[in-house]
Structure 1
């Protein structure tokens, strides 16, 4: 083999190796990261998502994509080769969404994933582009217990988590050593002193009023009372989700 041919072979091998590295580089860049939508455009116009929801994407270290747009969780093995986001065998939980529009939003996003949208990084943002849809997502800032409002979205009883009744709303705010609970009924702008010790949260609960609030709200307030009545819960924050559980297994899930 001449020196010229040998050099050509070496250049071809080096080029192939670089190309292979570039193909996998995007996947490596996204592993372990979480992105949430900052804007959604459809046919050139802003698309409004269901109130209180965002497009939420988590790229795991084992090359899976976990997606949520407000109701069911979707996941599958993800490939980012060729500038396309491709999810193999996309699966979804089968939780009954409290609103029909949440189910429709799930279907809309699953259809977008099935179509293998294009993706690119634009600075710190991830941009997904389908045939008529563009979603811009930013990296997620970690949630903290204090600051902002936590909204109850689930009720825990032992190993089971039930969805929050659609006709009720309950919020928690932790600020300046006070836990403010508001259901708009018996818990209304109620503030209870609390302290944190590791993952333990100790609150000094007081007696509430005894107004009958309707079936949905009564069940919510009963769950809050069961969770907090002992005055001590374990709390856990995972991204923008907060879980409060007591020693008996009663608890609440909340979103910020």
Structure 2
């Protein structure tokens, strides 16, 4: 009799274990970022504001950071029982350039506040609630290859934005690098090599023309490439290039 009871207990434990973690459920989302690939509302496609998407970031300290194209929302999150439960969801108060962006923020805030259901469909995250469904794909890590646009100037102790109207890019392609500012750095391709996180490149001679506000950006870029080459760091879509003293630039892809 005792053997039968023991066998029944083992079978119950095994069945409970299988049922509590069905395929794709109960996964650890910590440290992952998901970006919307489709949005439906009341069964019909919902168009997002042009140039925007829904982005959900699950931090290592159990917080959710959400973005729908303007203001950022965040708060402590629980994923228990297949629900996204965000306690005290806070939102920044930026003035969005379009009313549609405010409306989109409000829509996402209400959806997250209603404790939507979540599940994993393969690698995709699916949120369902308040008549809406969002399918989000895992964000692919950025690589050095491609065109990066300078969006910030940094020193060891401070950071500043690029002057309005100034555009500077750095392009990495098949082992070559080109810096284009529209002034002294004219996009000439130079071979580069990586030594760990350091970019090794010979920029060659650089002219010294004065180009107004472009000069500040060119100086910051050139500073990054002093001291043996810049150290590079990629954090999602942001590339930071700094010299050993911490001076350089940030760029967006």
Cα offset, 1:200, TM superposition: 1.0
Shift of 1:49: 4.1
Contact kept? 2:49, 2:101, Cα under 8 Å: no
In the TM superposition, 1:53-202 aligns within 5 A as 53-69=52-68, 74-91=73-90, 100-101=97-98, 104=102, 109-146=108-145, 148-165=146-163, 167-202=165-200
Question: How far apart, in 2, do the equivalents of 1:88 and 1:170 lie?
Answer: 42
Please tell me whether the aligned partners of residues 155 and 161 of structure 1 are also in contact (alpha carbons under 8 angstroms).
yes
Aligned to 1:223: 220
Q: 1:59 to 1:194 in 2, by over 3 A?
A: same
Give CA deviations for 1:3-46 in whole Å, capped at 9, x if unaligned. 9xx99x969x85996599449x8454323433222233456234
Q: Does the CA-based 8 Å contact 1:27-1:79 persist in structure 2? A: no
How far apart are residue 65 of structure 1 and its match?
A: 2.3
Distance change in 2, residues 1:91/1:252 (3 Å): farther
Cα distance, 1:197 vs structure 2: 0.9
In the aligned structure 1, how far is the partner of 2:80 from the partner of 2:91?
23
- Counterpart CA distance in 2 for 1:16 and 1:239 is 41
Partner of 2:246: 249
Partner of 1:239 in structure 2?
236
Could you list the runs of 5+ residues in structure 1 that have no partner in the other structure?
none
User: 1:92/1:156 Cα in 2 relative to 1: closer, same or farther (>3 Å)?
Assistant: farther
Q: Alpha carbons of 1:227 and 1:197: their partners in 2 closer, same or farther (altered >3 Å)?
A: same
Cα separation, 2, equivalents of 1:133 and 1:209: 57
What secondary structure, in the 3-state scheme, does the structure 2 residue paired with 1:196 have? strand
Measure how far apart 1:88 and its partner are.
1.7
Say yes or no: does 1:33 pair with 2:32: yes
Q: Spell out structure 1 runs of 4+ moving beyond 6 A.
A: none
What is the CA–CA distance in structure 2 between the aligned matches of 1:154 and 1:71, rounded to whole Å? 19
Aligned counterparts of 2:135 and 2:225: Cα–Cα separation in 1: 39
TM-score (norm 2): 0.72
Looking at secondary structure, tell me which structure has more helix per residue.
1
Q: Matched residue of 1:75: which SS?
A: strand
TM-score (norm 1): 0.72
Kindly tell me the number of residue pairs found equivalent between the two proteins. 244
Tell me if the contact between 1:69 and 1:109 (Cα under 8 Å) persists in the aligned partners: yes
Shift in CA distance, 85/18, structure 1 to aligned 2, threshold 3 Å:
same
Q: Deviations over 1:45-73 (max 9, x none)?
A: 3423453x543333234433233455665
